[in-house]
C-alpha cells in the first residue's frame, strides 16, 4: 500500500500557501494571497507560463493563429466517455462497449481563460441561490455578487450590477456590428416572445443578448494576464513555478503539510502551511484520490492508503451538453471581416419542461465558423440544456499519478436532458426554415463536431488551400456546392429524416452530443454532514486539515453560463475565506 510521506525540505523554502494549478481560480488566489507581504505563496502550474511581456500572439490575439492548438497547452492524453452509461457500471465494461473522445482541458498558465472562446457571462441569480439551498451556506446570489463586481471592468456599462474597476475587462459586440444572419435570428426570437437586452447582467427571465467577453480592444485578457501582471509577479513573497507537476499531497496524519512535485527531471517535496488545490474539475479530484482522499474501497483497489474516506470525490461530474445545426450563409449574410468575434448572440430561455427550472436552455448564434475563406461562409446555431441534470464520474486508472483518470460524463442519462434536446432541435429548425432567417441561408444540416472539423479551424498552408477551393465550390453552386456540403453532412442523419423521425433524431443527438468544455461538480461544496460533500463552504476538505479546494470542481450544481467568470469568482471569495483564517 502506497503511503503519504512527510516533506523533506530540499532546495525550496517552506511556503504559507501552495496553490496547485494556475487556472482561472489559481491566478486569482495567487494575486490575493500574496498581496499581504507577510504571506509566502507558491503557485504551481503543470503547463507553460505566459508572462506579460512574452504572451504568444496566438493567445493574445483575438483570432486563431497557426500555433493556437499546440499540444503544450493541453492535457493531450485526456479522454472522456460521453455516451449514457445505461447498465454499464465499471470502467472495464464501459471501455468494452464505448469509444472515448478527446476532451480538451487547458494545461497552461491562466487555464481555460487562456485557450477558451473568451466568453464572460455570469450565471443567473437563481444558480447561486441553489448552491446555498444545496448546503453551500454563504454562496447565495447576494453573497457572490460583490465578488463578480470585484473581478470585472465593464467597458460598456456602469449600473448597480456592473463591476467597473476590476482586473478583467468585459466588452460586447453589439447588434449594429452583427451580420444579417444574426440580426434575423434576433428578430425571430422576439417574435417567439424572447426579448433582446444589451446587458446580460440585467437578465431576469428569458432573453437574448450579445456575448460578454474577457477582451479589451481585440486582445484576450486571461486570468493570468489580469491577475499575474508584472507588478504582482515582482512581489518578493510570490513564487511562480510553471511546467511543474504535482503527483500527490503530503500528509502528517490528517494534516496536509506539502506537495510532492516533479520539475526539470527531479522529484522533490515542498512544505506548506496550507495547500490549495485549484487544478480543475478533472484533475483536482484525481489529485485528491492519489493523495488518499476519496472512496475508501476505490483507493484501496489502486494501492493508495486512505487518509479520508469521502465518497463524493470524483462524483457529480457535470457539463453543458451541446449539439447544433451547421448553416451555409448567403453572401449578403457574411460577417464583416472587421468584426473579429464570430459569436454574435446568446440566448437563455425556458424550455417549459415541467420538471426543470425556468431559463434552463441556451443557444448560441455564430456568424462565422472560422476566420478562413470557407469558415466565413458557414455559421452555426448550437444549443442545449443550460441546467443539465445528467451526471457522470471520475476514477483513477491505477496508482501512477502520471496516468490520466477515467472520465465518464454520462450525457443524456437523465431523460430531461434528451427530451429538451428534441424539442429544442425542432424549435431551432423552425426558426431556420422560416422568414426572416431563411432569407439569409442557403441550407442547414444536423451538425456533428469531429476532430477533422476542429483541425480545419487552424491556420496552415494546407488548410488555406483546402478552404479556398471549398469556398469557391460553395459560391459556384450546383454540383460543387452539393459536393462540399455533402462532405460536411453525416449521411446517417439527413435533415428531413431527423425532423420527421423520432428515432433518427434521437440517433443524431446521441451521436453528436458533446460537452461545452465546462466540467464541474467533482469536489462538491456543501454541508459537512452530507456524505456527498467534499469541501465545506470555506473550501476546507472535510476530514483533513490544511487542505482546501477552489475551482470549478466545488460547484454543487452547474450554473446557466460558461464557467470561467464563476470560477474566478470562486477564487476571489475563497481568498477572502482563507485570509480570514
All three cell numbers of 418:
434528451
The chain-wide mean pLDDT, for the chain, equals 92
Query: How much is the average pLDDT of 357-379?
Result: 91
Q: Report residue 208's pLDDT band, with 50, 70 and 90 as the boundaries.
A: very high
pLDDT at 298 over 90: yes
Average pLDDT over residues 458-477: 72
Q: How far is CA 323 from CA 187, 362, 363, 412, 420, in A?
A: 22, 11, 10, 12, 12
d(CA 450, CA 454): 6
* Cell numbers given for 8: 523533506
Three-state secondary structure call for residue 268:
strand
Q: What confidence category does residue 476 fall into, taking pLDDT thresholds of 50, 70 and 90?
A: confident
Q: Using DSSP, state whether 344 is helix, strand or coil.
A: strand
Q: For residue 2, what pLDDT is reported?
A: 47
Q: Is 63 helix (H, G, I), strand (E, B) or coil?
A: coil
For domain 174-210+321-387+412-512, which CATH number applies: 3.30.410.40, 3.20.20.10, 3.30.70.600, 3.30.70.141?
3.30.410.40
Mean predicted confidence (pLDDT) in 156-168 = 97
Q: Check residue 262 and give its pLDDT.
A: 93
Q: 451 falls in which pLDDT band (50, 70, 90)? A: low
Q: Is the pLDDT of residue 394 over 50?
A: yes
Same fold, 15-79+106-118+224-310+523-579 and 174-210+321-387+412-512: no
Distance (Å, rounded) from C-alpha 410 to C-alpha 405? 15
The residues spanned by each domain of the chain are: 15-79+106-118+224-310+523-579, 174-210+321-387+412-512
Question: Residue 460 pLDDT more than 70?
Answer: no
With 0-12 / 13-18 / 19 or more C-beta atoms within 10 angstroms meaning exposed / middle / buried, residue 206 is middle
Quick one: pLDDT band at residue 463, thresholds 50, 70, 90? low
pLDDT for 549 beyond 80: yes
Q: What is the pLDDT of residue 468?
A: 78
Q: Which residue has the higher pLDDT, 522 or 459?
A: 522
pLDDT at 472: 77
pLDDT interval class at 63 (50, 70, 90): low
Q: Which residues are registered as beta bridge partners of 545?
A: 255
Phi, psi of 258 (to 5 degrees): 165, -165
Per residue in 66-118, pLDDT tens?
A: 555 678 899 999 999 999 999 888 999 999 999 999 899 999 999 999 999 89
What pLDDT score was predicted for residue 475?
A: 77
Joined together, the cell numbers standing for residue 365 give 448564434
Cis preceding-peptide flag for 436 (omega within 30 of 0):
yes
What value does the mean pLDDT take over residues 54-69? 72
Q: Please give the biggest Cα pair distance in the chain.
A: 73
Determine the distance from the C-alpha atom of residue 110 to the mean position of all C-alpha atoms in its chain, rounded to a whole number: 13
Where does the pLDDT of residue 58 fall: very low under 50, low under 70, confident under 90, or very high at 90 and above? confident
Q: For residue 506, is pLDDT > 80? A: yes
Examine the pLDDT at 285 and tell me if it is beyond 60: yes
Mean pLDDT of 157-164: 96
- pTM here is 0.95
**What is the CATH number that goes with domain 15-79+106-118+224-310+523-579?**
3.50.50.60
d(CA 368, CA 339): 10
Positive/negative CA dihedral, 275, 277, 283, 285: positive
Q: What is the pLDDT of residue 89?
A: 85
pLDDT at 5: 45
- pLDDT score of 450: 56
- pLDDT recorded at residue 581: 78
Average pLDDT over residues 111-127: 95
Query: Which band of pLDDT confidence, cut at 50, 70 and 90, is reported for residue 8?
Result: very low
How far CA 246 is from CA of 121, 123, 567, in Å, comes to 31, 31, 21
Of 277 and 486, the structure prediction assigns the larger pLDDT to: 277
Tell which wins on pLDDT, 202 or 56.
202
Q: How far is residue 575's CA from residue 227's CA, in Å, rounded to a whole number?
A: 13
- What positions carry a catalytic annotation? 518
Distance CA 154, CA 145 (A): 14
Q: At what angle do helices 461-476 and 478-488 cross, to 10 degrees?
A: 130
CA distance 492 to 369: 23
Per-residue pLDDT tens over the stretch 399-445: 999 999 999 999 999 999 999 999 999 999 999 999 999 999 999 99
Instruction: Tell me the range of 359-373, 460-474, 493-507 where mean pLDDT is highest.
Output: 493-507
Amino acid at each position: 500500500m502506497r503511503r503519504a510521506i512527510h516533506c523533506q525540505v530540499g532546495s525550496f523554502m517552506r511556503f504559507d500557501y501552495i496553490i496547485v494549478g494556475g487556472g482561472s481560480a489559481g491566478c486569482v488566489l495567487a494575486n490575493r494571497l500574496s498581496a499581504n507581504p507577510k504571506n509566502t505563496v507558491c503557485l504551481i502550474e503543470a503547463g507553460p507560463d505566459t508572462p506579460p511581456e512574452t504572451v504568444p500572439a496566438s493567445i493574445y490575439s483575438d483570432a486563431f493563429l497557426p500555433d493556437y492548438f499546440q499540444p503544450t497547452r493541453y492535457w493531450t492524453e485526456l479522454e472522456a466517455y460521453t455516451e449514457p452509461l445505461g447498465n454499464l457500471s465499471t470502467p472495464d465494461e464501459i471501455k468494452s462497449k464505448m469509444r472515448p473522445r478527446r476532451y480538451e482541458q487547458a494545461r497552461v498558465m491562466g487555464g481555460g481563460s487562456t485557450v477558451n472562446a473568451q466568453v464572460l457571462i455570469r450565471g443567473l441569480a437563481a444558480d447561486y441561490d441553489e448552491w446555498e439551498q444545496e448546503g453551500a451556506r454563504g454562496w447565495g446570489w447576494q453573497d457572490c455578487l460583490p465578488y463578480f463586481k470585484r473581478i470585472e471592468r465593464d467597458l460598456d456599462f456602469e449600473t448597480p450590477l456592473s463591476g467597473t474597476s476590476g482586473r478583467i475587462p468585459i466588452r460586447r459586440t453589439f447588434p449594429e456590428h452583427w451580420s444579417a444572419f444574426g440580426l434575423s435570428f434576433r428578430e425571430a426570437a422576439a417574435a417567439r416572445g424572447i426579448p433582446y437586452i444589451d446587458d446580460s447582467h440585467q437578465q431576469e427571465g428569458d432573453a437574448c443578448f450579445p456575448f460578454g467577453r474577457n477582451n479589451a480592444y481585440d486582445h484576450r485578457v486571461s486570468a493570468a494576464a489580469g491577475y499575474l501582471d508584472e507588478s504582482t509577479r515582482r512581489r518578493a513573497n510570490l513564487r511562480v513555478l510553471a511546467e511543474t507537476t504535482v503527483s500527490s499531497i503530503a500528509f502528517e496524519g490528517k494534516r496536509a503539510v506539502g506537495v510532492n512535485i516533479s520539475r526539470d527531471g527531479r522529484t522533490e517535496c515542498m512544505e506548506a502551511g496550507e495547500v490549495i488545490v485549484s487544478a480543475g474539475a478533472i484533475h483536482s479530484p484525481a489529485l485528491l484520490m492519489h493523495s488518499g482522499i476519496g472512496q475508501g474501497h476505490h483507493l484501496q483497489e489502486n494501492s493508495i492508503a486512505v487518509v479520508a474516506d469521502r465518497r463524493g470525490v470524483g462524483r457529480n461530474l457535470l457539463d453543458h451538453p451541446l449539439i447544433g445545426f451547421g448553416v451555409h450563409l448567403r453572401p449578403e449574410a457574411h460577417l464583416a471581416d472587421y468584426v473579429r468575434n464570430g459569436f454574435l448572440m446568446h440566448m437563455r430561455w425556458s424550455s417549459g419542461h415541467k420538471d426543470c427550472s425556468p431559463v434552463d436552455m441556451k443557444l448560441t448564434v455564430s456568424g462565422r465558423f472560422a476566420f478562413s475563406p470557407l469558415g466565413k461562409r458557414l455559421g452555426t446555431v448550437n444549443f442545449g440544456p443550460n441546467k443539465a441534470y445528467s451526471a457522470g464520474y471520475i476514477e483513477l486508472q491505477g496508482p501512477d499519478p502520471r496516468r490520466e483518470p477515467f472520465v465518464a460524463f454520462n450525457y443524456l442519462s437523465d431523460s430531461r436532458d434528451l427530451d429538451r434536446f428534441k424539442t429544442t432541435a425542432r424549435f431551432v429548425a423552425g426558426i431556420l426554415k422560416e422568414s426572416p432567417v431563411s432569407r439569409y441561408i442557403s441550407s442547414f444540416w444536423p451538425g456533428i463536431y469531429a476532430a477533422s472539423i476542429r483541425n480545419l479551424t487552424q491556420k496552415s498552408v494546407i488548410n488555406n488551400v483546402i478552404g479556398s477551393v471549398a469556398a469557391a465550390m460553395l459560391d459556384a453552386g450546383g454540383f460543387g456546392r452539393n459536393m462540399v456540403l455533402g462532405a460536411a453532412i453525416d449521411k446517417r442523419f439527413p435533415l428531413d429524416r431527423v425532423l420527421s423521425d423520432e428515432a433518427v433524431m434521437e440517433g443524431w443527438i446521441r451521436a453528436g452530443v458533446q460537452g461545452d468544455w465546462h466540467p464541474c461538480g467533482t469536489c462538491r461544496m456543501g454541508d459537512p454532514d452530507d456524505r456527498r460533500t467534499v469541501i465545506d463552504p470555506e473550501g476546507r476538505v472535510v476530514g483533513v486539515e490544511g487542505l482546501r479546494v477552489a475551482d470549478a470542481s466545488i460547484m454543487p450544481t452547474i450554473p446557466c453560463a460558461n464557467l470561467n467568470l464563476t470560477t474566478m469568482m470562486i477564487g476571489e471569495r475563497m481568498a477572502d475565506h482563507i485570509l480570514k483564517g
